[in-house]
Chains A and B, each alone.
Chain A
Amino acid sequence: MKTGIFICHCGHNIIHTVDVKKVRDYFSKFPNVTVSSDYPFVCSEPGQDMIRENIEKEGLDRVIIASCTPSLHQELFKDLLKKAALNPFLLRRVGIREHCSWVGDDVEKNTEKAIRLIKAGLYAAAHYVPLEEKRVDVTKSALIIGGGVSGLSAALFLSRMGMHVYLVEREARLGGHVRTLKNIWPIRQDGEAVIGQMEAELQAGENVEIFTSTSIGSFEGSFGNYEATLDTPTGERKITAGGVIVAIGFSPFDARVKPELGYGRDERIMTTVDFEAKADSIELPAHPRVAILHCVGSRDEQIGKPYCSRVCCINALRVGEAIKERYKDAYVESFYMDVRAHPRGGEEFFEDTREKGVLFTRGNIAEIIPGPKGLLVCGEDTLLAEPFEREFDLAVLSIGMSPPVDNQLISSLLKITLDKDKFFLEAHVKLRPFDTAVKGIFIAGTCSGPKDMEEAINHGRASAVKLFGFLNLGYAFVDPFIAMVDVKRCSGCRMCEKACVAKAIKYDDVQRIARVEEAACMGCGLCNSTCPSSAIGLKGYVDTMIDDEIGALVEAI
């Protein structure tokens, strides 16, 4: 066996806390290690060339790359092995960055840990066998869940690129929250107009099917051929989609969760959403006094919403501006923690609003109670460190974004993960912000965290581009990590058959042994650990391999 070990410095990320030279020299003495070398960036072009040259020149039959975590750059290195005419499943990645250099500070201990981790990889790779990836055809269609602004922009892109699009919306009309907005900053258009334009183009597309008032009944399958049942008003409809984009948006924060603000008990206390809906019909005195509260349902640890909702500051400014435009002499006071008018032009909008006469007071509001002639807003001025009490005719709560109501349902149907705030979790915050951990399922818009309209549209389109890349290829490879039966050992006890969740194991009545249906096997390895006689093994994770890994992690070095 000729193994090549390539250790990455990752700039200074790894070499900073791991003595890479020592690790390299340690492995160079191993009998079955032909090459042991280090390189500043193995993922760079020259780094890849170096590995490829070594494979070709030395005739390596196992490649161990000790660098970032296995899920990063995995495809890149697999392709590299393919180019060097080596089966890509003879590659072992060892994460000495995320699992070693970044989580400890002690160079000596980290170096020892890196040696152990690489050794585990080396021992494991000895058990590797060349595997063939199965090629499956990919249906050129996409299921988009959620017809809000990001779902629409994803649907538009995919339909323009010739993919068949199934757009599913729970409500009777498309457009989500954006449809209800008026005079959207900074484009100064109504949501109705924005959505109308997108909707018209979608409806004209021949390859688009829109299902409104529809929910997802069931969901199964794998990338390339997901099968979903849609519960439409006209009955059930079964569809097959190559990939999925989840764009189920957000739900506005329920201000009743903060009873001290009195929302729902007094008509003069309303949220920005209510203000949007009935701005024209609100009756105010000639010289109205209006309080605007920022950060309601955001940046609030007590109610479990520590995050900034990103849109509410701009919404609060829009409310202030709208009132100032209608009543020139209105007394408008905004109570803020920090004004985070982050989008382009937001800071200028904040200045404009200030010039128009909206007052900004940095303060925490303790409660809003009915007063003799209006609403009493009580709180603390956090700049002066003084309590205050002022009377207003109207209080507008600038509410934040909460996770969508169907997040748990979609999460369990599609098997995608939620983050700590119950929004959908991306595969990697910087490198794969649109992907989920499940191949072919993408997230778009506010269901993955608060976003403004521009960001939601961009997020939707970006997810669509990523999905298009997968779909347009027309085929995909499926991991060959499936179970196999050692016919000689199998005693036919049928325990694996009972355990298998995917129903991929069938009992052979004639030979009295278990058989694996490869297409159905999910590759979890449950059968492997259930089998009392080790007769069934999961390719790529066989018992002997894990046994040797365990040894490597603790044995003397």
Chain B
Amino acid sequence: MKGDSMEDQAGKNPQIIGFACSFCTFKASEMAGSLRMKYPEGVRLIQVPCSSRVDPAFVIKSIFEGADAAFVAGCHPGDCHFIKGNYFTRRKIAALKEMFDAFSMKEKLRLFWVSAAEARRFVEKVTAMYDEIKDAKDAGKTN
């Protein structure tokens, strides 16, 4: 029994898990909140010290547990607080994406960069992702 037991699986809104680095994306999400920007409730964040902390296994686990999609977000390349962490993230997620592609679920994983100042970008990115997942889901393409 994954997700809400009450509702019919087909009509259910997507659930997206985001891994957000403490120094950039999580800060941007805090700012988005302070500015009362709106984004779908289905987007939920897990704070990690650096995007490089995200083990590909976490992403797979998210999908396993019933999330419709997952994203990894960190500082822009070159801006990593830990100097080179996000370069490692980029490589790892690129490899993971190929694997997702092989299982025809490329759209379930996204990687993007959002700096601490880019609250609007954060909201745009997660909302666009949510909408696309929702559209695909409603059209019966996934699940």
Q: List A residues at the B interface (Cβ < 8 Å).
A: 69-71, 95, 97-100, 102-106, 109-110, 112-113, 116-117, 120, 411-412, 415, 417-420, 425, 429, 437-438, 481, 499, 501-502, 522-526, 528-530, 538, 541, 543, 546-547, 549-551, 553-557
Q: How far is the CA of A113 from the CA of B33 in the complex (A)?
A: 14
Q: Does B111 contact A (CB under 8 A)?
A: no
Contact A538–B53 (Cβ < 8 Å): yes
Contact of A523 among B37, B39, B41, B49 (CB under 8 A): B49
Please judge, given known A-B contacts A104-B38, A420-B118, whether A550 and B79 are in contact too, CB under 8 Å: no
Residue interface mask B90-120, A partner, CB < 8 A = 1: 0010000000000000000000000111100
Contact of B48 among A417, A419, A525, A557 (CB under 8 A): A525
Please judge, given known A-B contacts A110-B41, A551-B65, A557-B4, whether A425 and B117 are in contact too, CB under 8 Å: yes
Closest to B46 in A: A549
Closest to B23 in A: A437
Please judge, given known A-B contacts A99-B29, A420-B118, A425-B117, whether A529 and B61 are in contact too, CB under 8 Å: no
Report the minimum CB–CB distance from B95 to chain A (whole Å). 12
Contact A417–B115 (Cβ < 8 Å): yes
Residue of A117, A417, A530 with highest tally of chain B CB at under 10 A: A417
Residue of B32, B50, B66 with highest tally of chain A CB at under 10 A: B50
Contacts of B34 in A (CB 8 A): 98, 102, 429
Contact of A102 among B17, B33, B48, B83 (CB under 8 A): B33
Number of interface residues of B (CB under 8 A): 53
Contact B88–A103 (Cβ < 8 Å): no
Contact A499–B116 (Cβ < 8 Å): no
Contact A541–B17 (Cβ < 8 Å): no
Contact A529–B15 (Cβ < 8 Å): no
Secondary structure type dominating chain B contacts: loop
Please judge, given known A-B contacts A103-B33, A555-B65, whether A547 and B58 are in contact too, CB under 8 Å: yes
Contact A98–B30 (Cβ < 8 Å): yes
Q: How far is the CA of A499 from the CA of B55 in the complex (A)?
A: 14
Residue of B27, B40, B47, B88 with highest tally of chain A CB at under 10 A: B47
Q: How far is the CA of A553 from the CA of B118 in the complex (A)?
A: 25
Contact B52–A103 (Cβ < 8 Å): no
Residue interface mask B112-132, A partner, CB < 8 A = 1: 000111100000000000000
Contacts of A550 in B (CB 8 A): 17, 46, 58, 61-62, 65, 67
Contacts of A97 in B (CB 8 A): 33
Please judge, given known A-B contacts A551-B65, A554-B15, whether A526 and B44 are in contact too, CB under 8 Å: no
Q: List B residues at the A interface (Cβ < 8 Å).
A: 1-5, 15, 17, 23-24, 27, 29-30, 32-34, 36-41, 44-50, 52-58, 61-62, 65-67, 78-79, 81-85, 88, 92, 115-118
Closest to A540 in B: B49
Q: How far is the CA of A38 from the CA of B62 in the complex (A)?
A: 30
Contact B49–A524 (Cβ < 8 Å): yes
Closest to A543 in B: B55
Contact A103–B38 (Cβ < 8 Å): yes
Residue of B4, B23, B33, B83 with highest tally of chain A CB at under 10 A: B33
Residue of B1, B40, B41, B66 with highest tally of chain A CB at under 10 A: B41
Closest to B76 in A: A417
Contact B53–A437 (Cβ < 8 Å): no
Closest to B19 in A: A546
Report the minimum CB–CB distance from A143 to chain B (whole Å). 19
Contact B37–A103 (Cβ < 8 Å): yes
Contact of A99 among B3, B45, B84 (CB under 8 A): B45
Contacts of B32 in A (CB 8 A): 98, 103
Contact B46–A120 (Cβ < 8 Å): yes
Contact B117–A554 (Cβ < 8 Å): no
Contact A524–B50 (Cβ < 8 Å): yes
Q: How far is the CA of A417 from the CA of B88 in the complex (A)?
A: 20
Report the minimum CB–CB distance from B142 to chain A (whole Å). 15
Q: Could you write out 21 A-B pairs with CB less than 8 Å apart?
A: A71-B30, A98-B29, A98-B32, A99-B33, A102-B36, A417-B115, A418-B115, A523-B49, A525-B48, A525-B49, A526-B85, A526-B88, A528-B55, A529-B53, A530-B88, A546-B55, A547-B58, A550-B17, A550-B65, A554-B65, A555-B66
Contact A541–B33 (Cβ < 8 Å): no
Contacts of A70 in B (CB 8 A): 47
Contacts of A102 in B (CB 8 A): 33-34, 36
Report the minimum CB–CB distance from A329 to chain B (whole Å). 50
Contacts of A411 in B (CB 8 A): 79
Q: How far is the CA of A132 from the CA of B26 in the complex (A)?
A: 25
* Leading 7 A-B pairs by shortest Cβ distance: A98-B33, A525-B53, A524-B82, A529-B55, A524-B50, A526-B52, A109-B41
